[in-house]
Amino acid sequence: MTKEEAKKRIEKLRQEILYHNKLYYVLNQPVISDYEYDQLVKELEKLEKQFPELITPDSPTQRVGGEPLIEFTTVEHKVPMLSLDNTYADSAVLEFDERVRKGLRSEKPEYTVELKIDGVAIALLYENGVFVRGATRGDGYKGDDVTLNLRTIRSIPLRLTTTKKELQNIEVRGEVYLPRAEFERLNEEKEREGEPLFANPRNATAGSLKLLDPKLVAQRKLNIFIYGVGESPRGEFKTHYETLMALKEAGLRVNESVKLCKDIELAIEYCNLWEKERDNLDYEIDGMVIKVNLFAQQERLGHTQKSPRWAIAYKFPARQASTKLKEIILQVGRTGTVNPVAILEPVEVSGSTISRATLHNEDEIRRKDIRIGDTVLIEKGGEVIPKVVRVVPEKRTGKEKNFVMPKTCPSCGGPIKRDESEVAWRCENIACPAQLKRRIEHFAFRGAMDIEGLGTAMVEVLVDKGLVKDYGDIYYLKKSDLLNLERMGDKSAQNLLDGIEKSKQNPFYRVLFALGIRHVGIHAARILAERFGSLKALKEAKFEDIATIYGLGGILAQSVVDFFANKRNLAVLEKLERAGVQLSEEKKVKAQPLSGKTFVITGTLENFTREQAQELIISLGGNVSSSVSQKTNFVVVGKEPGSKYTKAKELRVKILNEEEFLKITGKKK
Ligand code: IVH
């Protein structure tokens, strides 16, 4: 294909992809299959690879790219991004309507009524129809330039599908949000990694938009609804509603529930309808927005410092009720957290009967001084599980009892532990029935043992049928067991068994990661495997042996020690050993010059940053520790060394100056 031909074909493909994106993301009416769509993208990618000079930033292949940012630049909003006045009651909405009519000297306004999406406000700038910049609201006047992050959102068109003049150069505004299911997936992932969870989808959205690496943002399936325009010539558009429809036509994602209402009563009716329907959406809304429809009227009404006089947010009332707390029980989550749950006298809250509510953790119970027998206020918030907001102290009789946290797991009876760094108690028994499916999924997943055929659905079946009671059992599955399962043919049974067999070849660090020891991610697993060489050695390691390794620290060390102190875990590990899973590092073919040597660095080095020196040592097979002990082989001393230098002299550890360090690492002859 000549370059000229390629150029034509590329443009044709981009047009087509743009068109199908709109059908898929904006209009919810795809006309081709995902497969056909992928073929178009693949062809485009291929041509662009062949003719890289033809790549443009608005090509659909260019969504995720670029290096992580150091920080966001600040963007000034030419038209400030105001907020809305809030109300909670129909009466306040009627008052709003009165104010509007007064402001319009008794002219009767029409209203548009929209869902109030609970996410993060952003502004998107289009120049000549091409998406050039996106920014957060910030303080309303200045926000962060988050263009690269927004480009990863597939429902944001990189190019508009319109020839209308007034839409070529336009700033549109909308709400970025995280669908509920995505929020839950993200939190599960966080929990698996031992990171703090997001409180609600809105926080998760804000956190995602603040990530500096667009590649990470792309993994979170953010989405957007456009609800208006900021700076733009309004041209032929006279109303808000008309504008929204034109934006939709141009390929922007506008919520389909926007409704034009002739008067305020109809608007209120529509708000009340959505209050009942909100749980059926796959994203969170925290109310409705009522806006005067005619731009001319909006302009006459104007705005205050904070908010427009032509719009109001009708927030849904908090869904609260009070009831008696009968009992506090413990519940084990899929990841082993042991959480207190309030058992309530059943009570009705916005249409559903509530008989349980989360109490989060032990500290929260203390902080709110919640006692068994108390009357409590509960709230059904954005989260799925209702929560206890506070005690109603006036209802106390004196017979209420304090809650004492049990020290055993309600599911398996094993000991539970609490990290210093955490509020939650946890059960670390890898065979605990409550966590079993999760544990096995993690064990088998791609980054860990990578067992083909052992996904969520298969784990579900194996555990439910009682064939697997811990991940050690995986290695003792028989073909006859599998063939008894529903919809399991000879071929898939054999594939699964082959996958299991193959996983025995995984290197030790992958096994270590797969064990699911808290805080031991793949990176820590590598360090531990390298340092201790075998499961046996790691099992015998003392807290200090692990805690002093550079990059690991006390919390991880304690977690490893606790893991091996749990007898139930040792029994499972034995099954792995008998099965022939790799529980030690394979011997390195090439001896590394610093292997087995432990270094400590103190002071400032001239030729390296601290990190560079550490990396150099590790790359040559050595270890770096953060404190000097009998086990330290060398202390590298730079300018202005600290107490480690004194300690090294005390313990008579070999001291290297920078010159000597360069020699020992082969950087200098
Ligand atoms: S109109 C002048 N419409 O709610 C303000 N806002 O304080 C124009 N929001 O931060 C806002 N859904 O991000 C409008 N359909 C909708 C909305 C919406 C959510 C957010 C908006 C703003 C907050 C209002």
Q: Which residues share a beta bridge with 427?
A: 416
Strands 634-637 and 598-602: parallel
Nearest residue to 76 (alpha-carbon basis) of 127, 121, 123? 123
Query: Would you say the pTM of this structure is higher than 0.95?
Result: no
Per-residue model confidence as pLDDT tens digits over 610-643: 877 887 787 677 888 888 998 899 999 999 898 9
> What separation in Å is there between the alpha carbon of 120 and the centre of ligand 1?
9
Q: Which two tokens stand for residue 567?
A: 């007898």
DSSP state of 402: -
> Phi/psi class of residue 222: alpha, beta or left (left: φ > 0; alpha: ψ in -120 to 50)?
beta
pLDDT tens figures, 526-580: 899 989 999 999 999 999 999 988 878 888 999 999 999 999 899 999 999 999 9
Can you read off the two tokens belonging to residue 343? Answer: 């058992």
C-alpha 530/C-alpha 628 separation (Å) is 20
Mention every residue, 6+ apart, whose C-beta is less than 8 A from residue 461. 485, 486
Tell which phi-psi region holds residue 561, choosing left (phi > 0), alpha (psi between -120 and 50) or beta: alpha
Q: What is the pLDDT of residues 104-129, one digit of tens each?
A: 998 999 999 999 999 999 999 999 99
Inter-residue contact 40 to 13 (CB < 8 Å): yes
Does residue 289 have its Cβ closer than 6 Å to ligand 1? yes
- Evaluate if residue 588 carries a pLDDT over 70: no
Residue-level length of the chain: 669
307 C-alpha vs ligand 1 centroid, how far in Å?
10
422, pLDDT greater than 80:
no
- Would you state the pLDDT for residue 351? 63
Q: Which residue has the tokens 């070529």?
A: 168
Residue with tokens 């495997």: 529
Structure-block tokens of residue 161:
């599908």
pLDDT-derived band at 587 (thresholds 50, 70, 90) equals: low
Binding site membership of 228 for ligand 1 (Cβ less than 6 Å) = yes
Ligand 1 within 6 A of 530 CB? no
pLDDT in tens, 163-211: 888 899 999 999 999 998 898 888 878 766 666 677 778 889 999 999 9
Contact 227 CB / ligand 1 (< 6 Å): yes
Residue pair 571/622 in contact (Cβ under 8 Å)? The answer is no
Please pick, among 22, 116, 291, 380, the residue that the annotation labels catalytic: 116
337: Cα separation from own chain's centroid: 18
Give the CA angle between residues 233, 236, 237 to the nearest 5°: 80
Best CA proximity match to 538, nearest among 522, 555, 524:
524
All residues at 6 or more sequence positions from 175 whose CB lies less than 8 Å from its CB, including other chains: 117, 118, 119, 120, 121, 122, 224, 225, 227
Confidence of residue 233 (pLDDT cuts 50, 70, 90): low
Q: The tokens of 295 are what?
A: 């731009």
3-state DSSP of 264-291: HHHHHHHHHHHHHHHHHCCCCEEEEEEE
